[in-house]
Amino acid sequence: MLKEKIARVFAEQFGGEGIFYASAGRINLIGEHTDYNGGFVFPGAIDKVIMAEIRPNGLDKVRVRSIDIDEYVEFGLEEKDAPSESWARYIFGVCREVLKRGGKVEGFDAVFAGNVPLGAGLSSSAALESCFAYAVNDLFNDNRIEKFELARIGQSTEHNYCGVNCGIMDQFASVCGKEGNLMRLDCRSLEYEYYPFHPEDYDLVLIDSCVKHELKDSPYNRRRESCERVAALLGVGTLRDADMDMLEAKREEMSEEDYKRAKYVIGEKERVLDVCDALEKGDYERVGRNMYATHEGLSKDYEVSCEELDFLNDVARETGVTGSRIMGGGFGGCTINLVSKKLHDDFVKEAVDRFEKKYGHAPKVYDVVISDGARRL
Ligand code: GAF
């Protein structure tokens, strides 16, 4: 459906056909706000994508239509040509970052659309960056740029063109995701492993509070600054190399706020490792306990939750859900829930009914399907 819609608009806008590419949104089982601290993350790509039809145009400019935003933008490929539309800056940034790395980008025409919900913490922006990074690599660089570098191109786009000082998790998951697999990425060594994820008795369910989050204007960058301040004070490169004893020893020399941020990050590093161990043993109850602990830390110490997300977490706990927590950067978006199959329908009903009663609108519910990352269709 998405493909047909894009093909129709491409034909109307530019005539003829191009090549289709897609890249995915992501979930993250555990390991939040650890990527820019050199820690571990545990994401996977999902079956919600940004899809684009693209064709080189022989000009020195990019002409692109966003179906969902219903806008058309043209821009050149030099630094001075940066568009002002925020969605177009993701595409411009990807082109610029490829060029800065010595890659090749020529003019192209593109139409894109997606079904990754915007502002829900599912990384629609990483999906957009990864889709175009993959396409530019395929169309103009004979796929010489390695996949991990494509993820870095997306991350640099966020830093240099979109004002978000993010880590590598979202772009990595969007580019490298594999059907049926989560991935454990060590954000210090950048080594990663695929973990087949097919729990027989559990589902992953996302409940979207519909509180819109936009990392650009959120205190996301300030969280990162706190972590960097503490790491510098402890004399380590990143908080990955710190432990609770080191933190306690210097507690008096930092603000209470910075202390709480670092405490969360150090605890989260341990939780991801514990979850890996639990998954290897098939102990989903232990996975779930860690998820609740993460939520607690993100809410009380890292302070990136909001009332609606805390409410959804309470409902999950009260309904007997195995694990539940805020997912992604926070400040809105979704909770991710590990739910036993027999509880699935009751939980969803309970969450929707109680949320609607309290906030006057129903949350959205997405069942997670772990899928492939960036690809040519
Ligand atoms: C956002 C960022 F983009 C990621 O890099 C990561 O820090 C995440 O928040 C929190 O884990 O999605």
- For the chain, domain boundaries: 2-197, 202-368
Which pLDDT does position 336 carry in this prediction? 98
Inter-residue contact 106 to 4 (CB < 8 Å)? no
Hey, which bits of 146-253 come out as E strands?
A: 181-186, 192-196, 202-208
Q: Which of 286, 254, 259 is nearest to 273 (CA)?
A: 286
Which pLDDT does position 118 carry in this prediction? 85
- 170 annotated active-site: yes
d(CA 41, CA 284): 18
**How big is the chain by its Cα radius of gyration, in Å?**
21
Tell me if the pTM is above 0.85: yes
Query: Cα separations (Å) of 67 from 88, 106, 125, 211, 351?
Result: 12, 23, 15, 23, 32
- Please identify, in words, the CATH class of the domain defined by 2-197: alpha beta
Residue-level pLDDT, tens digit, the chain, 377 residues: 999 999 999 999 999 999 999 999 999 999 999 999 999 999 999 999 999 999 999 999 999 999 999 999 999 999 999 999 999 999 999 999 999 999 999 999 999 999 998 888 999 999 999 999 999 999 999 999 999 999 999 999 999 999 999 999 999 999 999 999 999 999 999 999 999 998 999 999 999 999 987 666 678 999 999 999 999 999 999 999 999 999 999 999 999 999 999 999 999 999 999 999 999 999 999 999 999 999 999 999 999 999 999 999 999 999 999 999 999 999 999 999 999 999 999 999 999 999 999 999 999 999 999 999 999 99
At residue 366, φ and ψ (nearest 5 deg) are -130, 125
Question: Is residue 166 in contact with ligand 1, taking CB distance under 6 Å?
Answer: yes
For residue 248, the CA-to-ligand 1 centroid distance in Å is: 26
**By alpha-carbon position, which residue is closest to atom 8 of ligand 1?**
329
Which pLDDT does position 175 carry in this prediction? 98
d(CA 306, CA 161): 28
Q: Ligand 1 atom closest to Cα of 166?
A: 5
Q: Ligand 1 atom closest to Cα of 41?
A: 11
| Long-range contact pairs involving 342-351 (C-beta distance under 8 Å, separation at least 24) | 342/201, 343/319, 344/203, 344/205, 346/319, 347/205, 347/316, 347/319, 347/320, 347/321, 348/205, 348/207, 350/315, 350/319, 351/207, 351/312, 351/315, 351/316, 351/319
Question: Is residue 328 in contact with ligand 1, taking CB distance under 6 Å?
Answer: yes
Which pLDDT does position 212 carry in this prediction? 82
| Region of residue 249 (phi > 0: left; psi between -120 and 50: alpha; otherwise: beta) | alpha
Which pLDDT does position 217 carry in this prediction? 65
Question: Is residue 170 in contact with ligand 1, taking CB distance under 6 Å?
Answer: yes
Which pLDDT does position 107 carry in this prediction? 98
Q: Ligand 1 atom closest to Cα of 168?
A: 5
Among the options 170, 208, 301, 372, which is catalytic?
Answer: 170
For residue 28, the CA-to-ligand 1 centroid distance in Å is: 10
For residue 288, the CA-to-ligand 1 centroid distance in Å is: 21
Question: Is residue 167 in contact with ligand 1, taking CB distance under 6 Å?
Answer: yes
Inter-residue contact 285 to 258 (CB < 8 Å)? no
State both tokens at 107.
Answer: 């003019």
For residue 349, the CA-to-ligand 1 centroid distance in Å is: 29
For residue 59, the CA-to-ligand 1 centroid distance in Å is: 36
Q: Which fold has domain 202-368?
A: Alpha-Beta Plaits (3.30.70)
Q: Rounded to the nearest 5 degrees, what angle is found at the Cα of 174, between the Cα atoms of 98 and 183?
A: 125
Inter-residue contact 48 to 114 (CB < 8 Å)? yes
Query: Where does residue 99 rank: exposed (0-12), middle (13-18), buried (19+ CB within 10 A)?
Result: middle
